[in-house]
Chains A and B, each alone.
Chain A
């Protein structure tokens, strides 16, 4: 091998971290629970939420309102892509149709994606991006905190690993919503509009299907209704600090968890999946 610059220890650690996408991982340990179809679907939905939002955040890279903001959006995107890799890797290990996380990410079409509608919403302006982040990260944080105590070791492990990152996303989006709500007339108007755009997707986050109910009974999943009140209270507190009124309640839009998405997801997938689908024989 020709001479290459040396690589520091820190770099090696980073290389290992970015290798997280490899098919085998530390969550491959055999677990007590059988990973049946419902569990796989649940884990997939957690992975899809992270993947789609990570993809959306990465669209900002190089175009954010300030350099510091660019870095923090990229940081959140990286966290989420890492989480997606872990969740989808776990799902793939128990689903013989998919060899690894990449197969799930790049070789499914819209009907098989299980993410909530909120995360696939377009970035819009920075206020809409932060509204989406606040609504999602607050929910994800409350969920993962509880999921870290789930009976399934593999699921609990990924949740525990992600919860700190998500706590930071939640705090960051809270801070921005407050800044923008309290900032100028223009930023207040934009922040209100961003929240208004996202508000109708909140009920989907608390939807409990029969399969989810069954997983909750088995201690594998968390019933989101158990923290709905806390979620609503947290949002209310942020809005108050931001001197914003809550948007009027809107008719809930549902369907993401069953594969019935907004028009936006198809375009996102067309971009994200283009290379592996154009060159199915290729390894990258």
Chain B
């Protein structure tokens, strides 16, 4: 998921064209590169690539990595309170998977010449972004089910096409990630079905969770296509393979019947089946809300960033100790 480029500078300038960032690059190299990408070849770390491609990829992959890591927090919030041993194990394994995704993705981004420390620093300073979805709180157990079902569901929708991304290390990371995400989505939906068929209190939790998570999930696909000027170039470079609106539509079409099957109401009065297009029409997304969250004004954005910074700062002495021990060991070997 989380692959939508989130620009800190609120809405992107209209009609911005970013194709010709590097006038200095050898046109023959650029041409050869574009041809390889167009032929669906993988670009590997040692291959020549335009600077703008490298920069865009670092931003996209690190943003995705940060999202995995920050995404551990809303669900981590419920591990100690999971209602059965089985649910506790499933949730802990899931959150651990997300950490693993973060790790593969940081490694993939590092192949482009940016260190994990630099990327983490950019997250903590607020320079780098992460998916808007994780700036919403998990209030009840049903939120854990909703995240698995909707958030991992949206993630899959975004990530499956990226298994064919042009950058080899990224595409390969996505293959591993997608397998696990689809498992998470299934588990989340199953947990939701149990709640939706449970006691009146559980049904209430389930409906309340979809009420709160539905729209933020749709926002995960990023701004509408006409507000997303980099899409065209990213598609040409095959680091994005379908547009935000196409993916959002797919997600709605797959998810609405799942909600109906669970007996849950999708909180959108404008939702209706459109026979002609073979998909659902749905209501207008509150883009004001979306851009506010992108700017870092989400309901629990401060909590999320504080938790990440605290973990990093409180753990500094541990990382220093590990380095010091390695250095001493190496020195002893020499001596």
Could you tell me which A residues sit within 8 Å of B by CB distance? 1-8, 10-11, 14-15, 18-22, 51, 55, 58-59, 61-71, 74-75, 77-78, 81-82, 84-85, 88, 101-102, 105-106, 125-126, 178-180, 182-184, 186-187, 190, 271-272, 274-276, 279, 281-284
Q: How far is the CA of A244 from the CA of B194 in the complex (A)?
A: 52
Which of chain A's residues have a CB closer than 8 A to the CB of B102? 67
Which of chain B's residues have a CB closer than 8 A to the CB of A82? 89
User: CB-nearest residue of chain A relative to B255?
Assistant: A2
Which of chain A's residues have a CB closer than 8 A to the CB of B180? 11
Option from A58, A63, A283 in Cβ contact (under 8 Å) with B88: A58
A269 nearest CB across to chain B (Å): 11
Which of chain B's residues have a CB closer than 8 A to the CB of A5? 156, 182, 185-186
Q: How far is the CA of A276 from the CA of B199 in the complex (A)?
A: 13
Q: B257 near A: Cβ within 8 Å?
A: yes
Question: Are B254 and A61 within 8 A (Cβ)?
Answer: no
Q: B226 near A: Cβ within 8 Å?
A: no
Of the A-B pairs whose beta carbons lie under 8 Å apart in the complex, a sample of 26, sorted by A's number, is: A2-B254, A2-B260, A5-B186, A15-B187, A18-B90, A21-B89, A61-B79, A62-B76, A66-B319, A67-B69, A69-B315, A70-B96, A71-B100, A81-B88, A81-B89, A84-B85, A88-B85, A102-B85, A102-B86, A179-B321, A186-B317, A272-B80, A275-B83, A276-B84, A282-B83, A282-B202
Option from A3, A65, A282, A283 in Cβ contact (under 8 Å) with B311: A65
Question: Are A8 and B179 within 8 A (Cβ)?
Answer: yes
Q: How many residues of B contact A (CB 8 A)?
A: 63
Q: Which 3 A-B pairs have the closest CB atoms?
A: A65-B315, A183-B321, A21-B86
Q: How far is the CA of A284 from the CA of B185 in the complex (A)?
A: 17
Option from B72, B93, B261, B310 in Cβ contact (under 8 Å) with A1: B261
Q: How far is the CA of A240 from the CA of B198 in the complex (A)?
A: 56
Question: Are A284 and B194 within 8 A (Cβ)?
Answer: yes
Q: A2-B261, A275-B83, A284-B84 known; A78 and B320 CB under 8 Å?
A: no
B230 nearest CB across to chain A (Å): 28
Q: A6-B182, A180-B321 known; A19 and B99 CB under 8 Å?
A: no
Q: B183 near A: Cβ within 8 Å?
A: yes
- Most chain-B Cβ atoms within 10 A of its Cβ — which of A4, A7, A22, A281? A4
Which of chain B's residues have a CB closer than 8 A to the CB of A8? 179, 183
- Most chain-A Cβ atoms within 10 A of its Cβ — which of B73, B76, B325? B325
Question: Are B198 and A282 within 8 A (Cβ)?
Answer: yes
